[in-house]
Each structure stands twice: as structure tokens, then as C-alpha cells.
Amino acid sequence: MPDALTIRELSKTYANGVQALRSVDLEIPPGMFGLLGPNGAGKSTLMRTVATLQDPDRGGVRLGAIDVLADKEATRRVLGYLPQDFGVYPHLTAAALLDHFAVLKGIAARGERRAVVDGLLQRVNLWTVRNKRLGGFSGGMKQRFGIAQALLGAPKLVIVDEPTAGLDPEERTRFLNLLSEIGEEVVVVLSTHIVDDVADLCAQMAIIAGGRVLRRGEPRSAIDSLVGKTWRKVIDKQHVVAHRERHTVISTRLVGGRTVIHVFDEHDPGDGFTAVDPDLEDVYFTTLRQAA
Ligand SMILES: Nc1ncnc2c1ncn2[C@@H]1O[C@H](COP(=O)(O)OP(=O)(O)OP(=O)(O)O)[C@@H](O)[C@H]1O
Ligand SMILES: [Mg+2]
């Protein structure tokens, strides 16, 4: 059995009084796990804590037999982490910096290190630019470099914090494909505010906001729970406010200058609405709305 990540009653209040985590409980099995939440939800706080970079006020984290918070050294040996604000040394080449990270990861033997670094550069499709300076890399190339360094040392736990924010659609797809190729034995935690990242990739997910877990489970069963309760209508934008007064609005989206409105209702709301197949975006916004 590969190791699961268990997070128990994790709480954190910053010195300025912000409660970033409020008794977070999560059971994260091997495979891709999506941590979905809006800005300020507590995603990075949670990920930095699991990555042993900061301590919570209360609670525990285990990875299989490892007590993550007590045994940071053991955790770091099996951890790959791509932080939200991953910075590279612009004057170094991709090959040189990855080699440097490999030394830090404890891969001491030069020949072994060379093989590992070359293999990873090929895997993330940066082989042809390995001797170019990172300062000239696009956002997508930098993120692919970031996942290469996170995969050094064959980690059992990979944490990637909002890796697709700011990537163009093609680079986003490339990046998600790389993530999906990490073995099924590895716990991969992907934080994002992009619902499609989770819908496309993750077998399990949690939605967090205001430091609380609002929902957890399989995206598919969350979507199924909204079948027959999600309704759609196209309206002019000046009618949005009136609809907000009459209905539980899930989302409004501009399409070709008109507004597509989704509402939640246990029963047919009438008023010109038709039933629509729910998707994970409906789940996300319904969950956030119900918690507000
Ligand atoms: N070092 C800090 N000191 C004080 N407050 C902080 C600190 N780091 C984060 N916060 C606050 O804690 C809350 C959670 O922040 P966090 O960065 O964990 O959220 P997030 O879900 O990663 O957001 P984003 O999507 O914007 O990256 C926010 O209100 C944030 O302003
Ligand atoms: Mg963040």
C-alpha cells in the first residue's frame, strides 16, 4: 500500500489575526488531489505547512509512517515542492540550476546526478533549451522547470501550489499532462483556483475557503449531487440584479455580450429557466455560496 497523507485538525492564525486554517481535516490518498479555493482560502498556508516550511498552531500531518511536523528531515527526503512564487536564478542555465538542486537533494555522485538531471530535462521537454539561461524562459517553461526540480529524488509526496495560474492554454495543458504522468503511487496535491484543472485531472478533491474545508470527495459524485437542481437562462445584463433577488444564483457568465445565468433550485424555478447538466464549476460556486 502506498502512503496516504493525513491532515488532522490543522489550525493557523497569523500574527495579524487572520485565521488562515480552521481545523482542517483531509485524507489524501495516492494519486492526483485537487485543492480548490479562491484567493486567500488558505491553500498556500496549508501547502507550506505540509511542506514543513511553517508550523501550524494546532493539529497534525502524517505521510504514512512519517510524522511530518515532528520529523521534517524525513519528510523533506520524500517531498517535492513547487511553491506558488517559484523564483529561478535568471543567469543560470536550466541544466546548471537543476544540477544544483540535485546536489541539495543529496544526489552526491556526479554520474548519477547527470543521469537524473538529463532524464528530467527530457521528461519536461526542456532538453533542447537546457543550456539556455532561465531568465529567457517563458512562464510555461519556468513552471516545467519547476516541476522538474520537484521530481528530483523520486518523491512520494509532490505539492504544487497554483502552478497553472498565468499559463496560456497550450502550456497549461502541457503542464497538467506532466502532472498526470507522475506515478499513481505518489500523493500529488495540486492547489488551484481554476476549476478545470481539477475537473480534468483529479480523482479526489476538496474545496476550501476562509480556512475551512467546505466539501471533499470525488468531483464526479459532487457533480451528480447537483443533477436536477441546476438551471440555466440567458438574460440581458440589466436583469442580473433582479434575478439575484428571486433565485439562488450559482454563477453569471458573459457569452457573446449576453449573460448566461445558472441558479440552484431543488425544483423547477420556472421564470424561463431550463434544466442544465451541472459541471464542477456549478459545484464550486454552489459550495462557496452556501458557505457565505
Ligand atoms: N505571512 C502571513 N502573514 C499574515 N497573513 C498571511 C500570511 N500569509 C497569508 N496570510 C493571510 O492568510 C490568508 C490565507 O492566505 P493563503 O496565502 O494561504 O491563501 P491562498 O488560498 O493560497 O490564496 P491565493 O489563491 O491568493 O494564493 C489570507 O487572508 C492571507 O492574506
Ligand atoms: Mg496561494
| Candidate of 10, 12, 13, 18 to mutate for ligand 1, largest count of ligand atoms within 8 Å of Cβ | 18
pLDDT at 72 over 90: yes
pLDDT at 2 over 80: no
Ligand 1 centroid – CA 156 distance (Å): 26
Per-residue pLDDT at 183: 80
Per-residue pLDDT at 166: 85
- How much is the pTM? 0.93
Q: Which atom of ligand 1 is the closest one to the Cα of 193? A: 25
Residue list, CB under 5 A from ion ligand 2: 43-44, 84
Ligand 1 in reach of 41 Cβ (< 6 A): yes
| Closest ligand to residue 42's CA | 1
Q: Whose CA is nearest to atom 1 of ligand 1?
A: 14
* Mean pLDDT along residues 80-96: 93
> How do residues 153-194 score in pLDDT, each as one tens digit?
999 999 999 999 888 999 999 999 999 999 889 999 999 999
Reduce the secondary structure of the chain to three states and give it as a string: CCCCEEEEEEEEECCCCCEEEEEEEEEECCEEEEEECCCCCCHHHHHHHHCCCCCCCEEEEEECCEECCCCHHHHHHCEEEECCCCCCCCCCEHHHHHHHHHHHCCCCCHHHHHHHHHHHHHHCCCHHHCCCEHHHCCHHHHHHHHHHHHCCCCCCEEEEECCCCCCCHHHHHHHHHHHHCCCCCCEEEEEECCHHHHHHHCCEEEEEECCEEEEEECHHHHHHCCCCCEEEEEECHHHHHHHHHHCEEEEEEEECCEEEEEEECCCCCCCCCEECCCCHHHHHHHHHHHHC
Ligand 1 in reach of 48 Cβ (< 6 A): no
Ligand 1 in reach of 89 Cβ (< 6 A): no
pLDDT at 87 over 90: no
Q: How confident is the model at residue 1 (pLDDT cuts 50, 70, 90)?
A: low
Per-residue pLDDT at 92: 96
Per-residue pLDDT at 184: 87
Ligand 1 in reach of 20 Cβ (< 6 A): yes
* Mean pLDDT along residues 67-84: 95
> How do residues 202-260 score in pLDDT, each as one tens digit?
999 999 999 999 999 999 999 999 999 999 999 998 999 999 999 999 999 998 889 99
Ligand 1 in reach of 144 Cβ (< 6 A): no
Ligand 1 in reach of 56 Cβ (< 6 A): no
Ligand 1 centroid – CA 45 distance (Å): 6
* Mean pLDDT along residues 78-100: 94
Q: How confident is the model at residue 290 (pLDDT cuts 50, 70, 90)?
A: confident
Q: Whose CA is nearest to atom 5 of ligand 1?
A: 14
Mean pLDDT rounded to a whole number for the chain: 94
Ligand 1 in reach of 16 Cβ (< 6 A): yes
> How do residues 118-137 score in pLDDT, each as one tens digit?
999 999 999 999 999 999 99
Per-residue pLDDT at 46: 98
